[in-house]
Chains A and B, each alone.
Chain A
Amino acid sequence: MSASENVAIPATIPQAVPVRRGMPAWQVALVVLGGLVVAIAPAFVLESFPLFQLTMAVIMGLAVLGLNMVTGFNGQISLGHGAFFALGAYATAILMSHLDWSFWATLPVSAAVCGLVGYGIGFPALRLGGLYLALTTFSLAVAVPQILKHKSIEDWTGGVQGLFLVKPDAPAWMPGGLSADQWMYFVAIGVSGVCFLLCWNLIRGRIGRALMATRDHPTAAEAMGMDTATLKTRAFAVSAMVTGIAGSLSAVAVEFVAPDSFSLMVSITLFVGMVVGGVASILGSLFGGLFVLFVPNIAEAISKAAPGVIYGILLIAFLFILPDGFAGLLRRIAARLRGRG
């Protein structure tokens, strides 16, 4: 992003960062190939219901990634990302059901709308730090379901009735006649894959370092010439955009949006996903998505009378076992392997 022009990092800094040991090309290829197989295989191995669940988990992972961009990497606590998720979902739903747009055409619009609103929210965020910002974004999440029901926009949003939309069909040129669920899965991993790659690219570059510097020591970052205000508002914009895209995907995967679908719990769920997956971790976000989708079902399988209690216990157990999230676990395993090697 263009934020980099404003961030003047002295040329000596990159040398201070430990340079990663390069892997041989064949190893890189092997990792990429393995990743692709792991990503694609479920579409042909799983039945349609587990595949739908996995699709939803990937989508939640993408939404968690959005939150991670602003809270994990930039240190601005947001408890209101459910609002952007809802905004993205509604942008897609309105364009698809009222104007008959194709799903793909709605994605850039949804991303742009969420990005702009996120940028707008970024400004008050500059003046509010820490817990105050958390509360402000929280109020956004409280307000959104009620705004969606408001009668002045009811003709567009469908009010409490919500809107129905249809999953995109697999294009005719695809071989083998994919089912709607299989195609939806590919759409979800395709879009998410691109977003994860872009975010990873952003984070490991100078902008990423600037974001983290702003989080860790804003005064020092500013003293080094970083425009922290610009960084923060843009981080909010990128974050809202990513979560909004996840919202768009969820709207078509579920084929229905209603204000009740975007209660306060969505924001809290995303926050839980981020902490469990690993704060400030790209890959951890994906694990966070898997956690928030599958663990409530496990909790319910254990007790129908009090699923919330079991979920709480499981959550505490996870935080105890993996204090730094799934990402931390992976890091520890990697460190041990490297130590042995």
Chain B
Amino acid sequence: MLNRRTLLTATAGALAAPAVARAQETPGVTASEIRIGNTMPYSGPASAYGSIGRSHQHFFRMINDQGGIAGRKINFITYDDGYSPPKTVEQTRRLVEQDKVAFLFNPLGTASNSAILRYVNQRKVPHLFLSTGADKWGNYQDTPWTIGWQPSYRTEAQIYMKHMLEQRPNAKLALLYQNDDFGKDYVTGVRDILGSRFDSIVRTVSHEATDPTIDSQVVSLQSSGADVLLTATTPKFAAQTIRRVADVGWKPLHYLTNVSISVGTVMEPAGPERGIGIITSAYLKDPTDPGWANDAGMNQWRAFMQKYIPDGDMKDGSFPFAFGVASTLMQVLKQCEGNFSRESIMRQAANIKALEVPTLLPGILVNTAPDNFHPIRHMQLQKWSGTTWERFGGVIEGAKV
């Protein structure tokens, strides 16, 4: 009985732990610290992305070791939301109301961020550099406190279209997309570039994420007589598409969303030789690419990994991503010059000028303005050689819309 009682007391104690929070003028900023809030799926279906949050914790530890920012240490508070939107709402309210963070940085997930979008904008809490590729985070008119980071799916589609029009001005395009937010962003991007020509040169076919195969979609696209194919779908269907296109003897110029370019889950299952010539895009330096062995930016990242996350998987692309987005945040905080009010932080987040980030491809710069909430708008194309993705050509900018 003693054990039982002790455990119960301990639990009761943990439950009753008082919430200490001091009222102050600028929430989360004192003379000695800045509090930053974040939510991540450390558990649940997307827990593989938890390494982004892990990287951030160590990144800010590094910043503190180097003396912090404007004389203040960074207190990075990150909570698990299990990739569940109601949990994200709960954890975000805990961050804002109880922990009194100055702002939110890099919360992950499209649905999770959608769930807190209105809350943070009503409360005017900066909601910076989200980990999601949806296009709506660039909507500076309606949600002025929210800004994305990575190139949106829409920007990516614009870049493919620019390249296509350059290569084949009289192309007929077949567009295969998954019928959800993700897939529809590509349709919007294609329309941005083609405009009134969209209806005459594009044949679109969609599929559901729950469909067993997309064989019939591929056949109907082929019969439309198109000579270019843009595949905007998730890995399983991308592998099926590559295989099916090769099997029916169709040889279009094939663009593939960079969501589905994993060698292990797409290219190998599809058959590496079937995919030769497929074009996709990139904006981050691939940690497995031997071309970056002596790159200054990647060396900086590797030094950070060795010192602060020695057991981290050096092949995991989440780490260079996290390093890049955290570096962008440091630039914003530097530009604040000690004025860490929420207005000032948001003003500087929308005032980044041609920032070079160590883990972004050369020539891809971070730019924001009060009327540009898409920090990364450039990408470089890469082609499947049968064994790896090989970058080619210069960086291409998405359309200004």
**Shortest CB–CB separation between residue B12 and chain A, in angstroms?**
11
B269 to chain A, nearest CB (A): 23
Tell me the residues in window 305-337 of chain A with beta carbons closer than 8 Å to chain B beta carbons. 305, 307-308, 317, 321
Minimal beta-carbon separation of A57 from chain B (angstroms): 10
A165 smallest CB distance to B (angstroms): 10
Quick check: B208 and A151 within 8 Å, CB to CB? yes
Query: Is A14 interfacial (CB-CB < 8 Å)?
Result: no
User: Does B210 make an interface contact (CB < 8 A)?
Assistant: yes
Interface pair B4/A151, CB less than 8 Å apart: no
When C-beta atoms are compared, the residue in chain B nearest to A311 turns out to be B43
What residues on A are CB-neighbors of B78 within 8 Å?
304
A50: Cβ under 8 A from any B Cβ: yes
Say whether B210 contacts A146, CB under 8 Å.
yes
CA of A321 to CA of B8, assembled, Å: 8
26 inter-chain pairs at a CB distance below 8 angstroms, sorted by A residue, are A47-B21, A47-B98, A49-B19, A49-B94, A53-B90, A56-B90, A146-B209, A151-B179, A162-B85, A255-B89, A256-B85, A256-B89, A258-B85, A260-B83, A260-B84, A261-B86, A263-B45, A265-B82, A265-B84, A296-B80, A300-B79, A304-B78, A304-B80, A305-B54, A308-B43, A321-B3
A164 at the interface (CB under 8 A from B): yes
Give A239 to B342 CA distance when docked, in angstroms: 47
* A166 nearest in chain B by CB position: B118
Q: For B180, list chain A residues within 8 Å (CB).
A: 149, 159-160
- Besides A146-B210, A162-B115, A263-B84, 17 other A-B contacts (C-beta < 8 A): A50-B19, A52-B90, A53-B90, A53-B94, A56-B86, A150-B208, A160-B110, A254-B86, A254-B115, A255-B119, A261-B115, A265-B44, A265-B84, A298-B11, A301-B14, A304-B78, A305-B54
- Which residues in chain B, 86-118, are within 8 Å of chain A measured between CB atoms? 86, 89-90, 93-94, 97-98, 110-112, 114-115, 118
**Complex contacts, B79 vs chain A, CB 8 Å:** 300
Residues of A within 8 A of B93 (CB): 48-49, 52
Is A164 touching B118 in the complex (CB atoms < 8 A)? Answer: yes
* Chain B CB within 8 A of A250 CB: yes
Contacts of B86 in A (CB 8 A): 56, 250, 254, 256, 261
Complex contacts, B54 vs chain A, CB 8 Å:
305
- Inter-chain contact B42/A49, CB cutoff 8 Å: no
Given the interface contacts A48-B97, A261-B84, does A307 sit within 8 Å of B43 by beta carbon? yes
Is the CB of B7 closer than 8 A to any CB of chain A?
yes
**Interface membership of chain A positions 174-185, coded 1 if the CB is closer than 8 angstroms to chain B and 0 otherwise:** 000000000000
| Closest Cβ–Cβ distance, residue B42 to chain A (whole Å) | 6
Shortest distance from the beta carbon of A266 to any chain B beta carbon, whole Å: 8
A-side contacts of B7, CB under 8 Å: 317, 321
Contacts of A53 in B (CB 8 A): 90, 94
Where the two chains meet, the residues of A that have a C-beta atom closer than 8 Å to any C-beta of B are 47-50, 52-53, 56, 146, 149-151, 159-162, 164, 250, 254-256, 258-261, 263, 265, 294, 296, 298, 300-301, 304-305, 307-308, 317, 321
CB distance from B388 to the nearest CB of A (A): 33
Which residue of B15, B85, B98 is within 8 Å of A260 (Cβ)?
A: B85
- In the complex the two chains form, what is the Cα distance from A160 to B83 in whole Å? 14
Point out the residues of chain B lying under 8 angstroms from A159, CB to CB: 180-181
Q: Which residues of chain B from 192 to 237 have a CB within 8 Å of any chain A CB?
A: 208-210
How far apart sit A56 and B91, CA to CA, in the bound complex (Å)? 12
A143 nearest in chain B by CB position: B210
Closest to A56 in B: B90
Q: Closest 5 interchain pairs by CB?
A: A49-B97, A260-B111, A256-B115, A49-B98, A261-B85
CB-CB under 8 A from A162, the residues of chain B are 85, 111, 114-115
Q: Is the CB of A256 within 8 A of B114?
A: yes
Inter-chain contacts of B43 with A (CB < 8 A): 307-308
Task: Indicate if the CB atoms of B98 and A258 lie closer than 8 Å.
Answer: no
Interface string of B43-56 (1 = CB under 8 A from A): 11100000001100
Which residue of the partner chain B has the closest CB to A161? Answer: B181
Query: Which one, B42, B110, B208, contacts A300 given CB within 8 A?
Result: B42
Contact (Cβ within 8 A) A254 B14: no
Residues of chain A within 8 A (CB-CB) of B3 are 321
What's the minimum C-beta distance from A91 to chain B, rounded to whole angstroms? 17
* Interface residues of B, Cβ cutoff 8 Å to A: 3-4, 7-8, 11, 14-15, 19, 21, 42-45, 53-54, 78-80, 82-86, 89-90, 93-94, 97-98, 110-112, 114-115, 118-119, 179-181, 208-210
Cβ of B215 to closest chain A Cβ, rounded Å: 20
A301 to chain B, nearest CB (A): 8
B4, B42, B86, B180 interface centre (most CB from chain A within 10 Å)? B86
Once the chains bind, are B115 and A47 in contact (CB under 8 Å)? Answer: no
Docked pose: A57 CA to B93 CA in angstroms: 15
Which residue of A47, A160, A304 is within 8 Å of B19 (Cβ)?
A47
Which residues of the other chain, A, contact B115 by a CB distance below 8 angstroms? Answer: 162, 254, 256, 258, 261
B229 to chain A, nearest CB (A): 22
Q: How far is the CB of B280 from chain A (nearest CB, A)?
A: 23
CA distance A305 to B45 in the complex (A): 15
Contacting pair B89 A254 (CB below 8 A): yes
Query: CB-nearest residue of chain B relative to A256?
Result: B115
Q: How far is the CA of A307 from the CA of B3 in the complex (A)?
A: 23
Nearest CB to that of A46 among chain B residues? B19
In the assembled complex, the Cα of A305 lies from the Cα of B97 at a distance in Å of 25
Nearest CB of B to A76, in Å: 27
Q: A321 to B5, alpha carbons, bound, how many Å?
A: 9
CB contacts (< 8 Å) of B82 on chain A: these are 265, 296
Output the residue of A47, A256, A258 with the most chain B CB within 10 A: A256
Q: What chain A residues lie within 8 Å of B83 (beta carbons)?
A: 260
Which residue on A lies nearest to B206, using beta carbons?
A151
For A293, the closest partner residue in chain B by CB is B90
CA distance A253 to B312 in the complex (A): 39
Docked pose: A151 CA to B183 CA in angstroms: 13
* B15 and A298 within 8 A (CB): yes
**Min CB–CB distance A122 → chain B (angstroms):** 27
Q: Determine how close the nearest CB of chain A comes to the CB of B372; give it in whole angstroms.
A: 24
Contact of A258 among B21, B111, B118, B208 (CB under 8 A): B111
Residues of A within 8 Å of B89, CB to CB, are 254-256
Residue from A254, A294, A301 with most neighbouring chain B CB atoms (10 Å) = A254
Question: Closest A-chain residue to B181, C-beta based?
Answer: A160
Write out the residue numbers on chain A whose beta carbons fall within 8 Å of the beta carbon of B45.
263
Q: In the complex, how many angstroms separate the beta carbon of A304 from the nearest chain B beta carbon?
A: 6
How far, in Å, is B143 (CB) from chain A's closest CB? Answer: 12
Q: Closest approach, in angstroms, between the C-beta of A168 and any C-beta of chain B? A: 16
A276 to chain B, nearest CB (A): 12
- A232–B249 Cα distance when bound, in Å, is 58
Query: Measured between C-beta atoms, what is the minimum distance from B95 to chain A in Å?
Result: 9
